[in-house]
Chain A
Amino acid sequence: MIDQAPVFIVIIPLLAALLLVFATPLGPRFAYGMLVTALAATLAAALATLNLVVAANQAVHYRMGDWLPPHGIELVIDHLSGVVLVLVAGCALLTAIYSLRTAEQDNPDRLNQYYSLFALLVTGLLGMVASGDLFNLYVLLEISALSSYGLLARGGGQAYYATFKYLIVGTIGACFYLLGVGYIYIMTGSLNMADLAVILSRPELQESVSVKIGFTLIILGIWIKMALFPLHAWLPNAYSKAGTTTACLVAPLMTKVSVYIMLRMMFTVFSADYIFNQIAWSELVIYLASAAAVVGMLAALAQRDLRKMLTYIIVAEIGYMTGGAWLANAAGFTGTTYHILADGLMTLCLFMAVGAIIYRTGETTKAAMVGIFQKMPITAVVLVIGAASIIGVPPTCGFFSKWYLIQGAAQAGAWVFVAALLIASLVAAVIFFRLLEVAFFGDLDAAPAAPEDGHGQGHGPAVARAEAPLSMLIPMMISAAGLIVLGIYTREVVSYFISWSIPAGF
């Protein structure tokens, strides 16, 4: 039974989503319990699969329907996908636990349907990471995209237009990916990733223009889904107008899984020396990534709305990861892969903390941060740890991923990228120090009027403790602890998991 673990990862959330529709008469608490149990079982299956991969020290192949690839579809889980699967399952579980109060508040009469969409989004993401077939990946990409449109549209009011723009842009991205797969299928006749790696190493296909066009279309489609500058315009509007739980679910995961798919396409299907020798524009990507990092952080600096600021930080982080992957060396690849884990946890931590603050105070701008240290001390500590990780302070994991990325960039001679990383860290420090100054001293200079009580000192009036509810606190504390633990155990994580997935020749 244990070697059926790969398929359990995808099937359990799917069955949970379908059964949640049937379970509507059993009430909201039952739905919550069912979702959390299903995601916990999924996390267990993901850990079991990772264990299988590490024990065998090679990729686990699972054949659907007992058909041999390339005729049938197979799931392929190696070290990289195993770790990303654990990340996705873990973040989804933490968000599900966190959603107890907010989901019911946002969706009073259709909680089961909302949780069903939640579970289907998780299914789509997990299936994308586990898949070993190009077209299967497209179908799961569309499942996760459709679920995210549905979840984001629950934000109401202004969210509808933002979701519509996201739908148009997302469809362009997915269809570019599909067209790229079509070009590859025409030239090779196969859809299986391992089979394609063999076929594409033939010299006549390496020189072929159509294969280059296919690769370009696939990468463009993935970049649109990933919100790489300058294709990032849809991300801040769509994510910032969503409900609290939705933002905590989509923001850490969807863009990271797209980065994973880019790595898979680049290094497993098309080999590393194809990209860096045959593709003419591969050196330009570093400049694009550097621009993404700097533009993202500067735009975040200019925002008043807390969640919009966090979404611009996501844009900058995507810049880091893309640059690291296209640096063409081992340190850069390690930095990107480690940063997928680190950024997933960081973004989850910050979005949960900000969501708790918005839940308690009802404000979404920086005015919500007034006196947070007195009102919600644990939440504030979580926010500080998340901020430290984004800036890159040891021993949080953000420091180590920047360390690898800078090392890789210095080795490759990409000084533009090094400069962009340092500038972005500096701007992040400015953003978060300003925010925490407001939070600790409660003093706002250009914000809407807080209630005046007549004293002109720095401290606000003594505010009552109104800490976030326990269902929100526990996942926040776990994710903040995870940031520090991941940082401390960096060397183990890299040597057990990531170093096995570095492509040959790096």
Chain B
Amino acid sequence: MDELFPFIIAKYNYWASLILLFIGLYGMIAKNNLMKKIIGMIIFQTAILLFYVSIGVKQGASVPILFFSEDHQPLLEASAYANPLPHVLMLTAIVVGVGTLGVALAILQKIQRVHGTIEEDEILEDMRQ
């Protein structure tokens, strides 16, 4: 038991991201209401963002913006700053996620107009007629 607890704490960022990921994936696949599928998609994408950003953390490091000393010399110590690359990658991923969300909402509005409902079983019923 005393090795289990540090084991869980040592990698808790992965547990959190993976649990959120599967919650989001379940929402996207199994829910009937199309809006809930979109919410599941947002949760899924956010979990992946968390996964990446948590990789960039270093023990005792601060934000990846250079710190200047008194005589305007930059402090170029690699272990003093967090890894900038996952931040950059996830800026892109956030923007892509927002784009997909916007398109999904627009299509949802059109579905509501054409079929009158956003429940999947009612839409399939409507399409059969």
Q: Do A and B make up one complex?
A: yes
- Residues of A participating in the B interface, judged by any CB pair closer than 8 Å: 135, 139, 142, 146, 149-150, 153, 157-158, 160-161, 163-164, 167-168, 171-172, 175, 178-179, 182, 185-186, 191
The answer, yes or no, to whether B111 is at the interface (CB within 8 Å) is: yes
**Bound complex: CA A239 to CA B104 (Å):** 18
Besides the known contacts A161-B111, A167-B107, A168-B41, 13 further A-B residue pairs in the complex with CB atoms under 8 A apart: A142-B99, A142-B100, A149-B103, A153-B110, A160-B111, A164-B34, A164-B104, A172-B25, A172-B44, A178-B48, A182-B48, A186-B55, A191-B85
Cross-chain contact of B28 among A142, A168, A178 (Cβ < 8 A): A168
**Bound complex: CA A172 to CA B100 (Å):** 12
The contact string, 1 if C-beta is below 8 Å from chain A, for chain B 43-58, is: 0110010011001000
User: Are A179 and B28 within 8 A (Cβ)?
Assistant: no
Nearest Cβ on chain B to A429's Cβ, whole angstroms: 33
Cross-chain contact of A175 among B48, B108, B110, B114 (Cβ < 8 A): B48
Known: A139-B92, A146-B99, A164-B34. A179 touches B51 (CB 8 A): yes
The 8 closest A-B pairs by CB, nearest first: A160-B110, A142-B96, A160-B111, A164-B107, A182-B52, A186-B55, A149-B103, A179-B48
**Bound complex: CA A168 to CA B35 (Å):** 11
User: Are A167 and B104 within 8 A (Cβ)?
Assistant: yes
Taking CB atoms and an 8 Å cut-off, the chain B residues in 81-110 that contact chain A are: 85-86, 89, 92-93, 96, 99-100, 103-104, 107-108, 110
Taking CB atoms and an 8 Å cut-off, the chain B residues in 12-68 that contact chain A are: 21, 25, 28-29, 34, 37, 41, 44-45, 48, 51-52, 55
- Residues of B participating in the A interface, judged by any CB pair closer than 8 Å: 21, 25, 28-29, 34, 37, 41, 44-45, 48, 51-52, 55, 85-86, 89, 92-93, 96, 99-100, 103-104, 107-108, 110-111, 114-115, 123, 127
User: Are B115 and A150 within 8 A (Cβ)?
Assistant: no
Nearest Cβ on chain B to A81's Cβ, whole angstroms: 23
**Bound complex: CA A175 to CA B21 (Å):** 10
Nearest Cβ on chain A to B104's Cβ, whole angstroms: 6
Chain B residues in 8 Å Cβ range of A191:
85
Chain A residues in 8 Å Cβ range of B92:
135, 139
Nearest Cβ on chain B to A150's Cβ, whole angstroms: 7
**Bound complex: CA A160 to CA B104 (Å):** 10
**Bound complex: CA A200 to CA B47 (Å):** 26
User: Are A179 and B21 within 8 A (Cβ)?
Assistant: yes
**Bound complex: CA A160 to CA B107 (Å):** 6
